[in-house]
Amino acid sequence: MKAHIGIDEVGRGPIAGPVAVGAFYLSGKIKHPIWNGKPVPLRDSKKLTRIQREIWYSHIELLRKEGKCDFAVAMVPAKMIDRSGIAPAIRSALARALSAVSSDAKCMILLDGGLKAPAEFKKQKTIIKGDEKEPAISLASIAAKVTRDRHMFRQAKKHPEYAFERHVGYGTKAHYAAIKKHGLSDLHRRSFLKRLSA
């Protein structure tokens, strides 16, 4: 198995909080963590439970300490998303996450969906539903999701009126009701909420 880097983004659609991009350097097969006597499945982070994601994250943190993998997550806050747009924000986070991962500069970069690495990375491949097909992309997705969710859980303590711990910034009915009652916070993406922020 040749070493490669998987890349995925999390948080494109929420109306509050950052967008996050994970980059995961994988140089060999990775053992699944065991939970309740069974291996935890590896797939797109959205298709795992919160507990499964956290177990995977603890597992890859340990593997990173052992030098068996490396990963990084970069986030771009709501204000920059409003200023630049979601696509440039994702490109910025992607470039930062990629530069933070230690790897062979010549290794292949595998990206989920419509993502692209900066042009200087010649060996790259965009894969539709890559987070279901490539372990490195699934692991990048998990790293990004757990990092972003933990960030939103911390923000929930600062802004309890929005219950970010429940929806992590996505536009649920309860979230819109909280905005109607309390207004917009500095975590909200005003460009996604133009009718409310007008």
Give the count of domains, the chain. Answer: 1
- Cα separation, 70 vs 74, in Å, equals 14
* Predicted TM-score of the model (pTM): 0.95
Neighbours of 60 (CB within 10 A): 22
pLDDT at residue 3, rounded to an integer: 86
What is the model's pLDDT at position 196?
67
Helices 135-158 and 50-65 meet at what angle, rounded to 10?
110
At residue 198, the pLDDT reads: 44
Rounded CA-CA distance 43/165 in Å is: 23
Range of the domain at 140: 4-197
What is the SS3 assignment for 6? strand
CATH number for 79: 3.30.420.10
Question: From residue 58, how far is each of 34, 64, 152, 155, 195 by CA, in Å?
Answer: 12, 10, 18, 21, 41
The pLDDT score that the predictor gives to residue 195 is 76
Element (H, E) at 4: strand 4-10
pLDDT in tens, the chain (198 residues): 688 999 999 999 999 999 999 999 998 899 999 999 999 999 999 999 999 999 999 999 999 999 999 999 999 999 999 999 999 999 999 999 999 997 666 789 999 999 999 988 889 999 999 999 999 999 999 999 999 999 999 999 999 999 999 999 999 999 999 999 999 999 999 999 987 654
Instruction: Say what the pLDDT of residue 194 is.
Output: 83
Two tokens at 181? 């009652």
